[in-house]
A = this chain, B = another copy of it.
């Protein structure tokens, strides 16, 4: 294929691609909020129409939650097949007051696109689609078979698509599974992510008295749900060392190897500078591990939200009848989310005893992932990034989770090439999310280059 032709095509149509992304970002596809269900559908439809316009055959796959999109354009049964992942749903936008401009009224400023989903994941996977278009229209046509699997539920259930994937095993057959849902350490180091933490998320509600009680009348005579919740939280994680206190939590944890620790130490990172960026006096780290190790190859536990009692304006002297925490655990090889959930629930029930009634509501789970850096499809990814961004690419670990990665790798047997285009400061899941245009266009070029690398240097079947 003609990679330069594809690059020229991207340059020539840059403005249209940005406009298309802006249209995509206008859709408030928040999967966690039921009143946005139609928007989530509209966002999936946006990708469907775009891919159909590029000659792809599409199918919508229902799930127990929001549906997924499958698309394929097969050019040669003998050629390698690349399966590309994305998700069209986005995180909620609160606290809305902290956004400088409305989250679903995208605008370009200071060389970036500002909107919810600009990076995660509309911008990133749309760069892949743009890369594919450039190869078709400017690069002489696809040199390999290309498939897409696009979720609209990654930020909510997280497992719904993985659950139905085995029904479509034959359609999902591929030689490489490309995921653009990660970031570079900084703008000067394009990177392939070779490890991801898994996740287990669960909401715990503790119910005490049958209604709110006057704290003057009852203070000192009740096990207060907020107190019991705090007691649970303090027994979930050691505040000083960062160790998770759920019995058995570390049983299956693989310690990072000396080689991994060396690679992590080489990653461009400065504690003091990062603390300043994030607005804190100093960073935390698990005892015995560096900050960066704590954030990527070590498991941890976060209370992502707590609520209980009176939280509105003013003061109300009540003992609240219930208290709730949303808790997620970040997992590493070889922790199993199901086993961790079981250990977690058992531990919490024992802590709570008869002081309250404990209810558990499970949210998304995902297994941790590790890639083999020497795999030729992963190596092709590093070369594609170097070509697309014009800078040497590195391999790195990432702290976040992409629940579908581990099951799809297992299902397809294909190596996962995590070629994300975002930057750490893009405010994912936070107000003022943005995505640099340089990342969007460099990502599109890298996506085109990847198909060229696979076609010209790897060849079918060489990965197994």
Q: Which residues from 308 to 331 on chain A have a C-beta closer than 8 Å to any C-beta of chain B?
A: 308-321, 323-324, 326, 328, 330
A85 contacts B by Cβ under 8 Å: no
A301 contacts across to B, CB distance below 8 A:
219
CB within 8 A of A304: which of B278, B316, B424?
Answer: B316
Report the nearest B residue to A233, measured CB to CB.
Answer: B230
A325 CB → nearest B CB, Å: 8
A237 contacts B by Cβ under 8 Å: yes
- Asked whether A211 lies within 8 Å of B279 as measured between CB atoms, the reply is yes
Q: Which residues from 267 to 298 on chain A have a C-beta closer than 8 Å to any C-beta of chain B?
A: 274, 278-286, 291-292, 294-295, 298
- Asked whether A320 lies within 8 Å of B305 as measured between CB atoms, the reply is yes
The count of identical subunits is: 2
- Asked whether B217 lies within 8 Å of A424 as measured between CB atoms, the reply is yes
CB within 8 A of A310: which of B220, B305, B317?
Answer: B305
CB within 8 A of A220: which of B221, B303, B311, B330?
Answer: B330
A381 contacts B by Cβ under 8 Å: no
- Asked whether B230 lies within 8 Å of A216 as measured between CB atoms, the reply is no
A94 contacts B by Cβ under 8 Å: yes
A383 CB → nearest B CB, Å: 26
A220 contacts across to B, CB distance below 8 A:
242, 284-286, 294-295, 298, 300, 330, 399
Question: Which of A18-26, A196-204, A372-380 participates in binding chain B?
Answer: A196-204
- Asked whether A156 lies within 8 Å of B279 as measured between CB atoms, the reply is no
A95 contacts across to B, CB distance below 8 A:
212
- Asked whether A430 lies within 8 Å of B34 as measured between CB atoms, the reply is no
A360 contacts B by Cβ under 8 Å: no
**In whole angstroms, what is the CA distance A302 to B223 when docked?**
11
**In whole angstroms, what is the CA distance A286 to B219 when docked?**
10
**In whole angstroms, what is the CA distance A125 to B274 when docked?**
60
With known contacts A234-B230, A315-B201, A317-B304, A430–B278 Cβ distance under 8 A: no
- Asked whether A304 lies within 8 Å of B279 as measured between CB atoms, the reply is no
**In whole angstroms, what is the CA distance A72 to B163 when docked?**
76
- Asked whether B430 lies within 8 Å of A213 as measured between CB atoms, the reply is yes
**In whole angstroms, what is the CA distance A304 to B282 when docked?**
30
**In whole angstroms, what is the CA distance A34 to B300 when docked?**
42
A429 contacts B by Cβ under 8 Å: yes
Report the nearest B residue to A286, measured CB to CB.
Answer: B220
A221 contacts across to B, CB distance below 8 A:
274, 283-285, 291-292, 294-295, 399
**In whole angstroms, what is the CA distance A98 to B303 when docked?**
27
- Asked whether B214 lies within 8 Å of A428 as measured between CB atoms, the reply is yes
- Asked whether A307 lies within 8 Å of B304 as measured between CB atoms, the reply is no
A343 contacts B by Cβ under 8 Å: no
**In whole angstroms, what is the CA distance A278 to B318 when docked?**
14
CB within 8 A of A400: which of B216, B309, B316?
Answer: B216
- Asked whether B239 lies within 8 Å of A230 as measured between CB atoms, the reply is yes
A326 contacts across to B, CB distance below 8 A:
309-311, 315-316
A431 contacts B by Cβ under 8 Å: yes
**In whole angstroms, what is the CA distance A298 to B197 when docked?**
48
Interface string of A219-242 (1 = CB under 8 A from B): 111111011011101100101001
A414 CB → nearest B CB, Å: 23
A136 contacts B by Cβ under 8 Å: no
**In whole angstroms, what is the CA distance A94 to B298 when docked?**
42
A117 contacts B by Cβ under 8 Å: no
Could you give 15 example pairs across A and B, Cβ below 8 Å? A208-B279, A209-B278, A215-B328, A218-B278, A219-B300, A221-B291, A224-B303, A226-B303, A234-B234, A304-B319, A305-B320, A306-B309, A306-B323, A316-B429, A317-B401
Q: What would 9 more interface pairs be, CB under 8 Å, given A32-B312, A230-B234, A304-B310?
A: A32-B314, A92-B310, A95-B212, A199-B216, A211-B431, A216-B400, A221-B291, A224-B303, A229-B306
